[in-house]
Amino acid sequence: MRSEARMARSEGPASRISLDVVEAQAGGDVGRVIMDGVTDLPGSTVVGRAEFLQHEADGLRRCFVSPPHGTPSHCLNLIVPPSDARADAGLIIMGPMGYPGFSGSNAMCAVAALAEAERLPTTEAEQRLVLETPAGLSTLDIGCRNARVETVTYEAVPGFVATGEHRLEVEGWGSVPLELVYGGTSYVMVRGAEIGIDPATASVEALQRFCAALLASLDPAWCIHHPLLGDLPPPSMILLAGAPERSPIKGMSVPLAVYMHPGVICRGPTGTGTTALLAHLMKRGELPPGTTVRTVSPFGNVFEGTLLGSARIGDVTGVRTSIRGHPRVLARSQVFLDEEALSCDVQGFRRLFEAPPGDGRVG
């Protein structure tokens, strides 16, 4: 299976662009996937194409994460041709936080959307798809039933704890112990028990207040250095973990709240957040390889993360994990964008829609 050269060009006046969008959810979080209307992006790699969007055509992202076309709680996904011969398709993820290198829930949403659009075979036998994202390659095992994607299990990009424990003075909360963890994107990791907040019982408003205060207190120069990707943008996401719970039936569960700037408590525990949690637990010696952990969001949505073992990322020791979820398609629609809704990047935005059409098929 391989992504073809181009997606379909929009028809109609240049002042209005028509995009074919599939809306899906995984773990409770909504990911919108552009299926048609965007051409090939400039750039020879998935990273380069994401950088073009970020620096030359960010209006596409902004339109989908703010009214009237979207909300800050929704993310946007764009399927692009891969640059790595081992990959079947490329994926660029956009959200209110910017351009994360990877997102598990959005990768699952993209797979469900491809199946819904019949661009991915939906046989009953489990199949494998390799996605190339700006963070690297991720292998997804897809289980289908009745021509729909029922489960997706993916091996995540390696995660690691980037710093030792720091203490930060946060107004209204005193000295807060935290660390930076990478799970495919950057997280500020806090254990709720150490500040008196249980993500399983605290109100969404209380979680928002704490996380917003924490982000406001961070030094903007404090960021993760990835051994392969270099210095990452300052973190805009917070991982607030509750105390692990063990059950003879369900196994190990961890309440997990993920905050996404500005002001969003994710409805799911997120795939990258689950990987970051497993990296944190293994670093502390609290999780042996082979253990599966159910991460549970404040809204009751669940992902399953399995610690596969350790991994080397350059000169850093991290973790290999697999994440399992159940994506579902919610809607399919046409979205119209007007050029006058954009600001400084109209020329870059226009370049998204000027090449000849193709079918964007995977396979």
Q: Would you call 103 a catalytic residue per the annotation?
A: yes
Secondary structure letter of residue 184 according to DSSP: S
Which among 86, 82, 123, 89 has a CA at the least distance from the CA of 107?
A: 89
Distance CA 197, CA 348 (A): 44
237 closest CA partner among 63, 105, 52, 70: 105
Nearest Cα residue to 214 out of 181, 186, 189: 189
How far is 63 from 69, CA to CA, in rounded Å?
6
Contact partners, residue 265, CB within 8 Å, separation at least 6 = 204, 207, 208, 211, 257, 258, 259, 298
CB 115 within 8 A of CB 149: yes
Q: Which of 3, 10, 103, 186 is catalytic?
A: 103
Active site residues: 103
